[in-house]
Amino acid sequence: MLKTEVFEQLKKAMKEKDVLAKGVLTLVKSALDLTEKEKGEPLTHDEEIAIINREVKQTNQALEGAQNAGRADLIEKEEAKLVLLKSFLPKQLTEEEIAEKLTAAGVISGMNMGEAMKIAKPLLTGQAEGAVISKVVKSLI
């Protein structure tokens, strides 16, 4: 389970006094615990991946803000957070691999965006970011 892996890395970060990793892992563990408590039962692997993806998206937004402000110190910090968060995600697919999977699943030219995304989202959960999936779907339809 991903939650166990996060907890193990958190303990390691605490022992090594890695402040950045400790902070990121504490946030991830809290998000996983809270969601599990709200649900009332253990999370599935896909639900855990969705939480990690949400954290990655928020970190990307923070990174964009830091880049727009020209804050080199924050850029470095956010990039380090991204590396750590992405280490919990499965290997991300390339655009070509995404296109192959979507074509095989029946996403064809002439389809509307909503229908295509209903096929794409569950098929590619955790394997690619939503923006990349959307871009590939648009190119296919």
Q: Looking at residue 132, what is its pLDDT?
A: 81
CB neighbours of residue 36 within 10 Å: 16
> Rounded to whole angstroms, what are the CA distances from 58 to 29, 30, 62, 122?
16, 15, 6, 21
Q: Looking at residue 17, what is its pLDDT?
A: 92
Residues 80-109 have pLDDT tens digits of: 998 998 888 877 788 888 888 888 887 777
3-state helix, strand, coil in the chain (%, to 5): 75, 0, 25
Residues 62-83 have pLDDT tens digits of: 999 989 888 888 888 999 998 9
> Rounded to whole angstroms, what are the CA distances from 120 to 48, 113, 139?
19, 10, 13
Q: Looking at residue 104, what is its pLDDT?
A: 83
